[in-house]
Amino acid sequence: MSNDSLKIPQATAKRLPLYYRFIQNLHSSGKQRVSSAELSEAVKVDSATIRRDFSYFGALGKKGYGYNVSYLLSFFRKTLDQDEVTNVALIGVGNLGTAFLNYNFMKNNNTKIQIAFDIDEKKIGTTIGDVPIYHLDELEQVLQEKDIAVAILTIPASVAQRITDRLASCEIKGILNFTPARLNVPSSIRVHHIDLAVELQSLVYFLKNYPGVEEAKTE
């Protein structure tokens, strides 16, 4: 990975996985080139934003021709390190956690949920979506054995900080936090927070205050 990637805006970085997914789809369907207008229609990001995003990576396309799909595919695969799998643990196998385990986002992707943890004896020792479920008591030991870099938190907010503190004592580098709790972590851990209540409230706020304004939908 070149150092150039350090200079791209974070908003652009957040859209890369989305572009990658649709370029995969285009490639699978046999398409050989694509214009920014077509990409825009598919990913619902305006084409000026797409052209600006792509421009950070140098000349990916040609004026009047568009982008070569195979080239884009190999470029994004490399940029997103698709060939290097990041091992993920999921903590909390309730409804939300189960949805994640059943969801196929580990396919065609550079992330794989390898293990899950819960405290419900009925779930421990079983698998969901091929992912084995361990007792939370074994957290530290199993995380180390399986070389886990990222944890998804789908646990009650009331225990989120306590479990985060335990994760901080392991080699965890990133947390995807689905609880409403705001987590205190050492600077070595990056937290992305997805608060479902805030997402819904935010949508309602936009409906009331930005009627008719198009959103850059992947912000």
**Beta-sheet pairing, 127-128 with 131-135:** antiparallel
The residue (of 7 and 63) whose beta carbon lies closer to a second copy is 7
Q: Are 168 and 185 within 8 A, CB to CB?
A: yes
User: In the numeric block, which tokens belong to residue 114?
Assistant: 């390898």
122 binds a second copy (CB under 8 A): no
158 binds a second copy (CB under 8 A): no
Member of 126, 144, 169, 201 binding a second copy (CB under 8 A)? 201
202 binds a second copy (CB under 8 A): yes
Binding to a second copy, residues 14-53 (CB under 8 A):
14, 16-18, 20-22, 42-44
Helix, strand and coil in the chain, % to nearest 5: 45, 20, 40
DSSP state of 119: S
159 binds a second copy (CB under 8 A): no
The residue (of 25 and 141) whose beta carbon lies closer to a second copy is 25
Is 93 annotated to bind a ligand? Reply is yes
CA 85 – CA 43 distance, rounded (Å): 25
Is 94 annotated to bind a ligand? Reply is yes
Q: How far is the CB of 164 from a second copy (least distance, A)?
A: 12
Q: How far is the CB of 213 from a second copy (least distance, A)?
A: 8
Q: Where are the beta strands (DSSP E) in the chain?
A: 33-34, 61-62, 66-68, 86-91, 111-118, 127-128, 131-135, 150-153, 174-177, 190-193
91 binds a second copy (CB under 8 A): no
Give the end-to-end CA distance of the chain in Å, rounded to a whole number.
Answer: 24
- Which residues are bridge partners to 111 per DSSP? 86
Q: How far is the CB of 75 from a second copy (least distance, A)?
A: 14
CA 79 – CA 88 distance, rounded (Å): 20
The residue (of 122 and 208) whose beta carbon lies closer to a second copy is 208
Q: How far is the CB of 138 from a second copy (least distance, A)?
A: 23
Q: Which stretch binds a second copy (CB under 8 A): 61-69, 104-112, 140-148, 162-170?
A: 104-112
Q: Are 135 and 169 within 8 A, CB to CB?
A: no
Q: How far is the CB of 131 from a second copy (least distance, A)?
A: 14
111 binds a second copy (CB under 8 A): yes
Binding region for NAD(+): 92-97
Binding region: 92-97
